[in-house]
């Protein structure tokens, strides 16, 4: 028998973005809408870009100034700098008939000008206070320049490292992803959306955008509802529960209907079930793209989108150019247009724009706060905390501050690739290369000599695809052989080799899917050649995704995975390499051994023919040519110290429906340096009516443990933590046995079991 919970689905209490003085706002908007023409109402639903920033589609808007003057624009993005923002807002406020202020949007994805590590990197810190802080700083900087609406956080779960946008998300786990979504919404929106240094968050891309077939961006998605609701939806629900003001619809279809025109998704689930009361914006021309999806002409798909619950049309102008006609022809109603218009005006009201349309522009604050020493220090700290130590044989790391280091690799003295993807407002030239950072941190005590050793890729055609936003892959004038020989020679006369290698920043991100996710050949050769020198080999790897790197794993003595670390890259890497910061990052995505294992993720459901080991077994679920296990598991990451876990202690072995069960472990730092450990708790639901994941993350805590010290870490589980979505979308737990695992990684745990009884 199964006890049904009141559907979590059905009740969502909106907190962070509570309606400011509801009726006062309603009265204000009623009065304003009473004065608006139909054209002006439709104008509010139009989001334009003059083409600044990064255009992510083929279209950019024309005659933007004229349209603003004519009341045909509700929001704008790609306008940068306080002067331009002020000037643009002035056109709306002073020259349009009703003077309705504009929303100013942007993709402030991992920092504004102070660029933090890419989101997948930040997620590896498992530090929610840190993630909230980085979002807070991003909002403070962006708002000083006049922006009030952020197209972040991207909370798309992804289990496919071929998909380039894994760089922008929090990895593969729905629980961790939900915690991250909450932290980022809190960081951007603060507790008062009208404050001049907070901005409206957009949770994106609803829905399933992270699961395109073949890992190819914008491709078809198809999945069961139990997977959708148990894995892909939770971070959206969490962000909405935290008060996110806006939702962006995805490019892809959901159960055959493009997300931007999907009534079930945008109205029945998002609003009626989850209680979302903000507005929905399309992705870049995703309304128009419904024409390519075969759902009719621009007029038909625009009407479909509006009726589905989409409020604002990004760049495509389908709403602007066709809704008037659709109204006359009875294909949409005035009520449909009013509803969407009201939601946009409410957002402006909640941001305080009707009180002061210029409140977000503050040149003085911009001068003091943007790229301040304090913000840069925060970026350095965040980067160090995002790195994951994957291997460290014979304590190769930390490096001694003495002797000589051969610093080699195409990313070792490189400014152009430190920021990573989606750093629209960042200036790569302000970033700290690794060579500079190592010299800063090591001072004169170490001899650090540099050789490039290899190009990121030797292929000019490939480089051309990557270099769309500036020179990322720079092919040296010297031949690959000459560079390689120089690096080998340098390595041979040094005590240790540090090779900084990996992906250029635009090798991941939007429209940057890869079918082969290994290092480019030029860099593989470099690693092999460096190994030949017999010197201790440290790999510092930068990337926007998990790479396949079995060979590099075998060859290296130590590997520090740094993702794309942001503006303070070099300093943060040097902090960790020289032991100033003891690495504490843990992977938030599984690293496959080869691309054929993809999709590979720790929380896979059970099979009737499992193979628990790595030895091939006939008629079991496994491959002939590769073990089932990944190269590195979700939750994995080493430290310069070591941690021991006690047995799992439970305060009860039988749990009633209204009980909480306390789970604790003692964690001992058994090494000689202080360190932080991410203690992870997973559950396995042994008795169930539908198949379940072999493990599900349900809690974690990052603890600082001094060398030699023991700390008790306790978690409390309620029946909610044991619940899951059933095929009818009810959310409930089922009585029976549960195993609780606690450990340092999803594949290294201690366990105990208890029984849930009715």
Type and span of the H or E element at 27: helix 22-35
Q: Considering the rule CB under 6 A, would residue 721 count as an interface residue with ligand NOJ? A: no
Q: Which of residues 260 and 417 has its CB atom nearest to ligand NOJ in the complex? A: 260
Task: Report the 10 Å Cβ neighbour count for 195.
Answer: 17
Best CA proximity match to 247, nearest among 211, 209, 219: 209
Q: Considering the rule CB under 6 A, would residue 56 count as an interface residue with ligand NOJ? A: yes
Q: Considering the rule CB under 6 A, would residue 110 count as an interface residue with ligand NOJ? A: no
Please count the residues of this chain forming the interface with ligand NOJ, following the rule CB under 6 A. Answer: 7
Q: Which of residues 107 and 241 has its CB atom nearest to ligand NOJ in the complex? A: 107
Where in 506-565 is the site for ligand NOJ (CB under 6 A)? Answer: 510
Q: From the candidates 127, 241, 283, 685, give the one annotated as an active-site residue.
A: 283
Best CA proximity match to 701, nearest among 649, 743, 750: 743
Q: Which of residues 284 and 682 has its CB atom nearest to ligand NOJ in the complex? A: 284
Q: Considering the rule CB under 6 A, would residue 107 count as an interface residue with ligand NOJ? A: yes
In the complex, least distance from residue 307 CB atom to ligand NOJ, rounded to whole angstroms: 23
In the complex, least distance from residue 230 CB atom to ligand NOJ, rounded to whole angstroms: 24
In the complex, least distance from residue 109 CB atom to ligand NOJ, rounded to whole angstroms: 8
- Exactly one of 204, 307, 545, 564 binds ligand NOJ (CB under 6 A); that residue is 204
Start-to-end C-alpha separation, the chain: 9
Q: Dihedral sign for Cα 604, 610, 612, 616, please.
A: negative
In sequence order, which residues have a C-beta less than 8 Å from that of residue 701 and are 6 or more positions away? Answer: 678, 679, 713, 715
In the complex, least distance from residue 169 CB atom to ligand NOJ, rounded to whole angstroms: 11
C-alpha angle 703-704-709 in degrees, rounded to nearest 5: 110
Q: Which of residues 119 and 190 has its CB atom nearest to ligand NOJ in the complex? A: 119
Q: Which of residues 316 and 502 has its CB atom nearest to ligand NOJ in the complex? A: 316
Longest CA pairwise span in the chain (Å): 80
Taking each helix axis from N to C terminus, what angle separates 569-577 and 373-386, rounded to the nearest 10 degrees?
A: 50
In the complex, least distance from residue 217 CB atom to ligand NOJ, rounded to whole angstroms: 9
Q: How far is CA 109 from CA 159, 382, 629, in A?
A: 20, 15, 32
Neighbour-count burial for 384-403, b at 16+ CB within 10 Å, e otherwise: bbbbbbbbbeeebbbbeeee
In the complex, least distance from residue 267 CB atom to ligand NOJ, rounded to whole angstroms: 22
CA within 13 Å, CB half, 346: 24
- CB 258 within 8 Å of CB 289: yes
In the complex, least distance from residue 96 CB atom to ligand NOJ, rounded to whole angstroms: 24
In the complex, least distance from residue 151 CB atom to ligand NOJ, rounded to whole angstroms: 4
CA within 13 Å, CB half, 199: 34
Q: Considering the rule CB under 6 A, would residue 283 count as an interface residue with ligand NOJ? A: yes
Instruction: Answer yes or no: 666 catalytic.
Output: no
In this structure, the chain runs to a length of: 758
In the complex, least distance from residue 110 CB atom to ligand NOJ, rounded to whole angstroms: 13
In sequence order, which residues have a C-beta less than 8 Å from that of residue 507 and are 6 or more positions away? Answer: 164, 456, 466, 472, 514, 543, 544
- CB 668 within 8 Å of CB 419: no
Q: Which of residues 204 and 702 has its CB atom nearest to ligand NOJ in the complex? A: 204
In sequence order, which residues have a C-beta less than 8 Å from that of residue 408 and are 6 or more positions away? Answer: 450, 451, 452, 453, 487, 490, 491, 497, 498, 499, 500, 526, 530
Cβ neighbourhood burial of 30 (10 Å; 0-12, 13-18, 19+): exposed
- Exactly one of 112, 236, 284, 563 binds ligand NOJ (CB under 6 A); that residue is 284
Q: Which of residues 165 and 702 has its CB atom nearest to ligand NOJ in the complex? A: 165
Q: Phi, psi at residue 312, to the nearest 5°?
A: -135, 135
- Exactly one of 151, 232, 387, 636 binds ligand NOJ (CB under 6 A); that residue is 151
Q: Considering the rule CB under 6 A, would residue 219 count as an interface residue with ligand NOJ? A: no
Q: Which of residues 285 and 746 has its CB atom nearest to ligand NOJ in the complex? A: 285
Q: Which of residues 56 and 267 has its CB atom nearest to ligand NOJ in the complex? A: 56
Can you give the binding site for ligand NOJ, defined by CB under 6 A? 56, 107, 151, 204, 283-284, 510
Active site residues: 283
């Amino acid at each position: 028998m199964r006890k049904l919970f009141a559907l979590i689905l059905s009740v969502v209490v909106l907190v962070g973005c509570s309606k400011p003085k509801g009726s006062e706002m309603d009265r204000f908007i009623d009065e304003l809408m009473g004065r608006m023409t139909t054209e002006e109402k439709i104008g509010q639903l139009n989001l334009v870009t003059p083409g600044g920033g990064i255009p992510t589609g083929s279209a950019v808007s024309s005659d933007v100034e004229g349209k603003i003057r004519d009341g045909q624009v509700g929001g704008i993005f790609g306008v940068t700098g306080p002067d331009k923002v002020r000037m643009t807002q002035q056109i709306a406020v002073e020259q349009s008939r009703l003077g309705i202020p504009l929303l100013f949007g942007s993709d402030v994805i991992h920092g504004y000008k102070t660029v933090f590590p890419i989101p997948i990197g930040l997620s590896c810190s498992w530090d929610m206070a840190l993630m909230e802080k980085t979002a807070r700083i991003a909002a403070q900087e962006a708002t000083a320049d006049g922006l009030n609406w952020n197209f972040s956080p991207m909370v798309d779960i992804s289990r496919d490292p071929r998909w380039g946008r894994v760089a922008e998300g929090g990895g593969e786990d729905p629980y961790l992803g939900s915690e991250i979504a909450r932290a980022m919404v809190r960081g951007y929106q603060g507790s008062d959306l009208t404050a001049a240094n907070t901005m409206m968050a957009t949770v994106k891309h609803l829905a399933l955008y992270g699961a395109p077939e073949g890992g190819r961006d914008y491709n078809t998605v198809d999945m069961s509802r139990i997977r959708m609701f148990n894995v892909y939806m939770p971070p959206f629900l969490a962000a909405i529960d935290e008060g996110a003001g806006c939702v962006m619809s995805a490019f892809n279809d959901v159960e055959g209907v493009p997300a931007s025109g999907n009534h079930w998704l945008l109205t029945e689930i998002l609003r009626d079930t989850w209680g979302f009361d903000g507005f929905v914006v399309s992705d870049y021309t995703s309304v128009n793209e419904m024409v390519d999806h075969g759902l009719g002409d621009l007029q038909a798909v625009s009407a479909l989108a509006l009726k589905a619950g989409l409020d604002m049309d990004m760049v495509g102008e389908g709403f602007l150019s066709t809704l008037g006609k659709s109204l006359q022809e009875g294909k949409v109603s005035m009520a449909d247009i009013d509803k969407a218009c009201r939601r946009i005006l409410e957002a402006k009201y909640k941001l305080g724009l009707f009180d002061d349309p210029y409140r977000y522009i503050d040149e003085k604050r911009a001068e003091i706060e943007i790229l301040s020493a304090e913000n840069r220090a925060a970026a350095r700290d965040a980067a160090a905390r995002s790195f994951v130590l994957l291997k460290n044989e014979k304590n190769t790391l930390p490096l001694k501050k003495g002797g000589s280091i051969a610093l080699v690799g195409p990313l070792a003295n490189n400014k152009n690739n430190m920021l990573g993807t989606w750093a629209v407002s960042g200036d790569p030239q302000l970033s700290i290369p690794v060579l500079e950072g190592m010299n800063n941190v090591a001072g004169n005590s170490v001899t650090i000599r540099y050789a490039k050793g290899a190009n990121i890729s030797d292929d000019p055609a490939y480089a051309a695809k990557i270099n769309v936003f500036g020179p990322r892959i720079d092919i040296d004038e010297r031949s690959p052989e000459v560079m390689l020989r120089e690096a080998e020679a340098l390595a041979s006369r040094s005590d240790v080799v540090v090779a900084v290698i990996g992906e250029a920043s635009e090798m991941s991100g939007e429209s940057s899917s890869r079918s082969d996710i290994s290092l480019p050949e030029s860099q593989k050769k470099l690693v092999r050649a460096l190994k030949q020198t017999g010197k201790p080999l440290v790999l510092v790897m930068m990337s926007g995704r998990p790479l396949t790197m079995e060979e590099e794993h075998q060859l290296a003595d130590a590997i520090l995975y740094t993702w794309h670390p942001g503006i303070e890259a070099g300093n943060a890497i040097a902090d960790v390499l020289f032991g100033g910061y003891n690495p504490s990052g843990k992977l938030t995505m599984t690293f496959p051994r080869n691309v054929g294992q993809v999709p590979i993720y720790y929380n896979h459901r059970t099979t009737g023919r499992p193979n628990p080991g790595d030895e091939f077994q006939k008629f079991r679920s496994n491959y002939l040519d590769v073990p089932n296990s990944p190269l590195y598991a979700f939750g994995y990451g080493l430290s310069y110290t070591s941690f021991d876990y006690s047995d799992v202690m439970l305060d009860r072995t039988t749990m009633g429906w209204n009980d909480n069960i306390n789970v604790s472990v003692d964690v001992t730092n058994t090494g000689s340096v202080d360190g932080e450990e991410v203690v992870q708790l997973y559950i396995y639901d042994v008795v169930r009516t539908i198949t379940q994941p072999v493990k599900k993350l349900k809690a974690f805590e990052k603890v600082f443990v001094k060398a030699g010290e023991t700390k008790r870490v306790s978690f409390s589980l309620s029946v909610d933590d044991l619940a899951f979505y059933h095929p009818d979308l009810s959310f409930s737990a089922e009585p029976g046995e549960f195993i609780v695992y606690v450990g340092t990684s999803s594949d290294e745990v201690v366990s105990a079991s208890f029984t849930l009884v009715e």
